[in-house]
Structure 1
Amino acid sequence: MALPKLSGRTVALLAAVAAVAVGAVAANASKHPSPPAATPASETPVADVPVDEPVSHEATAAELKAAAALPQCRSARLVPVNRSWGIPMPSILGSTSTTCNLMYGDDPYRGSSRTGDPETAIQVLQRNLNFCYGTKLAVDGIYGSNTRAVVRAVQRRHHLVVDGIYGPKTRSAMNWRLYSMATRSWSRSCSSPL
């Protein structure tokens, strides 16, 4: 059976209807964004951040540049909080400083330098996010898209610039699990003692 031949006016009418339908779908999609792609079961973003919570402003180019200018965290150390407790956190190799960053793509080294152990720094961050924020990140030492998504959710929760980069401001706002060298035990809850 052959399809009937359509007149030019009918073709134009069908094209107009299709264009209106596509426009309506696009307009509706911008009002109701599709949910993010599902994350693997091994990595689930922060669950306790409400969807309708006011979102902190997105990072500007200057803020991103400043955050990226910090050195990569290439070690981890126990930062003392008091005589009994400390916080394991990412740090600069061979220094007591924790003024460093971790960002998407650190897997584990950034740049050409192969010194230090950034994989351990990333794992320390991932373990802390899992315990204190209830996520299920794979503790793999790779700062991938799931780790970045969880850091962004934590930044939103603490009303920080949402850039997905773990740096000094995120570190200071985050909740951390404490460790006691004296008793070789972990705290049962998290706090933000910094």
Structure 2
Amino acid sequence: MAFRVPALPKLSPRTIALLAAVAAVAIGAVAANASKHESPAAAAPAAAPAPKASADQNISHDATAAELKAAAALPQCRSARLVPVNRSWGVPMPSIYASTSTTCNLMYGDDPYRGSNRYGDPDTAIQVLQRNLNFCYGTKLAVDGIYGSNTRAAIKTVQRKHHLVVDGIYGPKTRSAMNWRLYSMATRSWSRSCSSPL
């Protein structure tokens, strides 16, 4: 029995423009954050030449720290919406409350709210993520709307698989890299497989 990957639907110009805008905002935020926190030690002359491996590790560590800070600075996903891929299919994914933006994050400790603000529906956002992880990545998470240690571990596995910074935070980079199960409003049916349409 041969395994066939279904052809992905073609993206509409509006969807492409929306995805480009989201990516530009995320890249701009990371770049701005990285330039703000440039290490003063990098400008100072070194007392002794450092081994090449150590320099590579420092660069990687600085980039990781900048990405972690940028990801953590985003607002919590407090809703879920169907992001259109084309006229027939869309991807249910976590989003910002009362907005079409999906540039938000979910992280360990969201139970379901983060902090003292009690608005939106973050448990639904977390449940949408947990269902997708269960279907597309074979995790066996309880769909409970709590971003606990098991959900964080599943996101870390996804991040490793897609060669991302492994921080356990669901954010724009993880969202764009991971596979999603599509939903059709027209037929009210789910796709049989997962793809990365973003």
Given the two structures, how large is their TM-score scaled by the length of structure 1? Answer: 0.69
How far apart, in 2, do the equivalents of 1:162 and 1:112 lie?
27
How far apart, in 2, do the equivalents of 1:146 and 1:57 lie?
25
Using CA pairs under 8 Å that are at least 6 residues apart, name the structure with larger relative contact order, 1 or 2: 1
How far apart, in 2, do the equivalents of 1:133 and 1:57 lie?
28
Q: RMSD between aligned alpha carbons?
A: 1.6
Give deviations 1:50-109, integer Å, cap 9, x for gaps: xxxxxx989833322111100000000000000000000000000000000000000000
Gaps of 5+ in 2: 1-59
Query: Match of 1:86?
Result: 90
Residues 40-119 of structure 1 correspond to what in structure 2 (within 5 A)? 60-119=64-123
Q: Report how many residues are paired.
A: 139
Give deviations 1:100-140, integer Å, cap 9, x for gaps: 00000000000111000000000000000000001100000
Q: Is the 8 A contact 1:87 1:177 kept in 2?
A: yes
Q: Does 1:140 align with 2:111?
A: no
Q: Does 1:170 align with 2:192?
A: no
Q: Which of 125, 131, 134 lines up with 2:129 in the alignment?
A: 125
> What is the one-letter code of the residue matched to 2:75?
P
How far apart, in 2, do the equivalents of 1:166 and 1:132 lie?
15
How far apart, in 2, do the equivalents of 1:77 and 1:58 lie?
34
> Greater Rg, structure 1 or structure 2?
1
How far apart, in 2, do the equivalents of 1:136 and 1:58 lie?
34
Give deviations 1:3-32, integer Å, cap 9, x for gaps: xxxxxxxxxxxxxxxxxxxxxxxxxxxxxx
Q: Where is the helix percentage greater, Structure 1 or Structure 2?
A: 2
How far apart, in 1, do the equivalents of 2:140 and 2:123 lie?
18
How far apart, in 2, do the equivalents of 1:155 and 1:141 lie?
20
